[in-house]
Amino acid sequence: MRKILIVSIFCIVCFKGMAQNDSLLNRLGEVIIQADKKLKKYSVGYKVTTLNDSVIVRNTESFTSLLRFNSPLYLREYGSGGTSSASFRGTSSSNTAVIWNGININSINNGQTGFNSLTVSLFDAIDIRSGGGSLEYGSGAVGGTIHLNDYLQFTDTKKIKNQLVASLGSFETYRGLYKFKFSNSKLAINSGVSYNQSENDYKFLNTDFKNTNGAYENFGFNISAAYSLTEFSQLKFYSANYIGERFFSGELPNPLSANDKYQDFSYRNLLIYTHEKSRLSHEAKLAFLTQEYRYFEDKTSSIFNFGKSKRYLVNYDVSYSFPKLKASITSHSEYESAFGKTDQISERNRRQFSQSIIYNQNINSSVSFDAKLRKDFNSDYDVPFTYALGVRVKPIRNLFFRANGSKNFRVPTYNDLFWPGQGNLDLIPETALQGEFGIGYKNNQFLIDVGIFYINAKDKIVWTPGGDPNRPGIWVPINLSEVNNKGLEVSLSFNKTFNEHAVTLHMNYGYTVATDKATDNQLIFVPKHLFNSNLGYTYKRFGFFYQQLLNGKVYTTESNSNDFVIPDYFVANTGLEYKFINLQQKQLAIGLKVNNVFNKYYEVQPRRPMPNRNLNFNINYKF
């Protein structure tokens, strides 16, 4: 596969102003710089799940695997290594926004992000925010947002850090990662390169077949840098680049008939200027993002279908704080021009200007809230005002209540409207009203969060087989007049350290009823029950972990026919770790992971079996 690396060079006219210190985390002479300061500040009343470094290291097989075993999301995957999408609380995958350093990177063609096209270990932090209040990132994220962040760090003295990870797994799977970090008091640079390859030819349990057309290969390169212009201002640059090729495995009963492949390319570049001083904050961002895919119906042929998109974004934030009130008000302005085309759809340009106002306040350290108002001006649709309100109350020590509500609006994507033979030009935008109430308890060792939610969506856009009587059996997008989603989510975390022993436990459970009001049937590809848990134990240099997932039954037809369902499944992984070197300046660890340890047959997508029991051995060296 071709290895192409494109790093775009930007020029920007810098805005000069004064700012507050929200984006800087000071730690013993070190300054950690975040490109996206909005997540932490404007998530009052919402549940935010953080996947730390130890969790990421144990789930490097794919981004899909990481989220499937460590989050409340439902992941729909077309076979191991295939196209993958995520959804919150029974909403569509296009209602899930993926945010890279504060920029929404969902495709303008299908409105989604492919999670097997993201490299897990190249990001410094991964956060998951549930609920529809993320108006600062776009009005269409009805379900929630997934945040991928790169952290840069200024240090008083010169520091250089290296990390090298190599792994070998079943089915001729090889992975390599190298990360480099440089920092001093004026300059910080992070870079990382990854390469993954697998024949992915696992045996289909209970059959005589193998996954003979499931190989994949991908290359990723990220670089970020920050330069301190003055004591109060920084210039930051972020670039993430991905090149991948994968073959689409076949379906039972005749998987050997598969002969197609898929290539995708993405290049994302972002330049940020901030000036930080006193109460007033200014920040300017300029971004350029491109994506391309190529689909080969015959992998031996040079003929392919393609889709391309490019996006230009400019946004400007200004914020003013009121220290006596413990409050702030922020204006977020953004202009986007997006171009998309395929080999069968001529290039189209959609332009949008959005203006958001956010007011945030803490009251007596026991009550905090933020209120958000957004207005979009879209070149194709008339977009109404959207809004959100989040509240958190802490009446006594360790106990808290949280609540949020929002109105969301999503316009049809290019594929929804124009896809040849399947698009629907009669689609109208969808709107949603939602609310959530939660109660929790948190101390230094224990956290439990219990929440109930309700979502009412009008004119919801869904792709369904047989949605158009004039095109029987064809998957087409339609508007459902009204859809109601309601449910319960429970999250639990526990950690305990005694002597040289440490125990951690994380659990997520979700119960979701998502029904089409016209039929009172459960929506397709929405499990009612979803549960995962992770248990970890360390003693001195030794570590052990066990993770499991229980995914409830999923309907694949609007009639909820039991003849066409994906049965519920239970799958578990386990692993061992040992640190040969555990010094402050140098660490060397090895790990062994057994996936699907009980060798269970299961499907995520109909007629596409997932891998049987398999092994992964890795070496992680930091110096």
d(CA 307, CA 78): 20
Closest CA to 194 of 9, 32, 52, 5: 5
Cα–Cα–Cα angle for 472, 474, 475, rounded to 5 degrees:
135
Counting residues of the chain whose pLDDT is more than 90, the rounded percentage is: 65
d(CA 156, CA 30): 7
d(CA 98, CA 521): 29
- The residues, any chain, with a CB within 8 Å of residue 167's CB and separated by 6 or more, are 60, 173, 174, 175, 176, 616, 617, 618, 619
Element (H, E) at 56: helix 53-57
d(CA 609, CA 250): 10
Number of Cα atoms under 13 Å in the Cβ half of residue 101: 27
Reply yes or no on whether the pLDDT at 268 is more than 60. yes
- The residues, any chain, with a CB within 8 Å of residue 479's CB and separated by 6 or more, are 427, 428, 430, 459, 460, 461
The string of pLDDT tens digits covering residues 544-562 is 999 999 999 999 988 999 9
pTM: 0.91
d(CA 617, CA 623): 20
Burial of residue 51 (number of CB atoms within 10 Å: 0-12, 13-18, 19+): buried
Q: Which amino acid, 308? A: K
d(CA 414, CA 411): 10
Q: Checking DSSP bridges between strand 144-149 and strand 96-100, what pairing results, if any?
A: parallel
- Around Cβ 561, how many Cβ atoms within 10 Å? 11
- Around Cβ 495, how many Cβ atoms within 10 Å? 14
Tokens of 480: 């459902």
pLDDT band at 111 (very low <50, low <70, confident <90, very high): confident
d(CA 63, CA 119): 7
Mean pLDDT of 494-513: 95
Cβ 25 vs Cβ 40: under 8 Å: no
Beta partners for residue 53, in sequence order: none
The overall average pLDDT reported for the chain is 89
* Dihedral angle computed from the Cα positions of residues 184, 185, 186 and 188, in that order, rounded to the nearest 10 degrees: 40
Closest CA to 15 of 352, 281, 337, 287: 281
Least confident of 3-17, 415-429, 567-581: 3-17
Reply yes or no on whether the pLDDT at 153 is more than 70. yes
Closest CA to 249 of 285, 284, 296, 214: 214
- The residues, any chain, with a CB within 8 Å of residue 344's CB and separated by 6 or more, are 305, 420
The string of pLDDT tens digits covering residues 316-331 is 999 999 998 999 999 9
Cβ 276 vs Cβ 23: under 8 Å: yes
pLDDT band at 21 (very low <50, low <70, confident <90, very high): very low
d(CA 471, CA 383): 31
DSSP for residue 486: E
Q: Which amino acid, 509? A: Y
The string of pLDDT tens digits covering residues 378-389 is 999 999 999 999
pLDDT number for residue 320: 93
Per the omega criterion (within 30 degrees of 0), is the bond before 253 cis? Answer: yes
The string of pLDDT tens digits covering residues 205-215 is 989 999 989 99
The string of pLDDT tens digits covering residues 165-216 is 999 999 999 999 999 999 999 999 999 999 999 999 999 998 999 998 999 9
Tokens of 332: 């977020």
Reply yes or no on whether the pLDDT at 539 is more than 50. yes
DSSP 3-state of 215: coil
The string of pLDDT tens digits covering residues 608-619 is 999 999 999 999
Residue 207: C-alpha distances to residues 20, 600, 606 (Å): 62, 13, 15
d(CA 576, CA 593): 7
pLDDT number for residue 36: 83
DSSP for residue 92: -
pLDDT number for residue 27: 43
